[in-house]
């Protein structure tokens, strides 16, 4: 049962502000790369969590706080 809980779906970080930033090489709204956005729905939950870790790092580097 614990394994099933660990593989629960991960909510998309999309905030419906889609603006690609070439310098960042990611969306200014969700901070995902175009590849990460395109593949989000087919990623396993573990891959989605990895994307969220990269998103957090991009936010830190850009000096942007996560949405509330």
27-57 pLDDT, tens per residue? Answer: 999 999 999 999 999 999 999 999 999 999 9
Give the pLDDT band (50/70/90) at residue 2. low
Q: Is the pLDDT of residue 9 over 70?
A: yes
Decide: pTM greater than 0.85. Answer: no
Residue 40: inside a domain: yes
Residue 18: inside a domain: no
Q: How far apart are CA 9 and CA 22, in angstroms?
A: 29
Q: How far apart are CA 20 and CA 26, in angstroms?
A: 6
Q: Which domain holds residue 50?
A: 33-63
Contact present, 33 and 9 (Cβ < 8 Å):
no
Q: Is the pLDDT of residue 62 over 80?
A: yes
pLDDT, averaged across the chain: 90
Residue 25: inside a domain: no
* Torsion angles phi and psi, residue 63, rounded to 5: 70, 30
Residue 17: inside a domain: no
- The count of domains in the chain is 1
Q: Is 27 exposed, middle or buried (0-12, 13-18, 19+ CB in 10 A)?
A: buried
Contact present, 26 and 33 (Cβ < 8 Å):
yes
């Amino acid at each position: 049962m614990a394994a099933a809980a660990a593989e629960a779906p991960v909510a998309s970080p999309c905030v419906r502000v889609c603006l690609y930033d070439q310098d960042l090489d990611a969306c200014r709204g969700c901070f995902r790369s175009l590849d990460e956005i395109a593949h989000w729905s087919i990623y396993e939950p573990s891959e989605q969590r990895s994307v969220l870790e990269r998103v957090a790092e991009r936010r830190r580097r850009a000096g942007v706080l996560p949405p509330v």
